[in-house]
Structure 1
């Protein structure tokens, strides 16, 4: 049964992971964000106690 022979499938698996780990991450990391978050615009909210309408 040829599907039980791991030789070609193991090479395909290794090659595909090699492609995923060497080619795709630099392409994904090269994209620039258009809107950079500004921490000075963040508003801090104070927590208020919640009053339940029932006792």
Structure 2
């Protein structure tokens, strides 16, 4: 029964999980937060009133 012999597949399993747990989260975090957040006070928050012509 080859499932009981860990030599052929165990190192592949360990290397695969090591790559997944170290490289992939760094790439995901680089894509998730590409820009610094803009503060609300830096934006122009003035709104213009709408002139209702028919009233």
TM-score, normalising length: structure 2:
0.49
Which structure has the larger Rg over C-alpha atoms?
A: 2
- Which structure carries more helix by proportion? 2
TM-score, normalising length: structure 1:
0.49
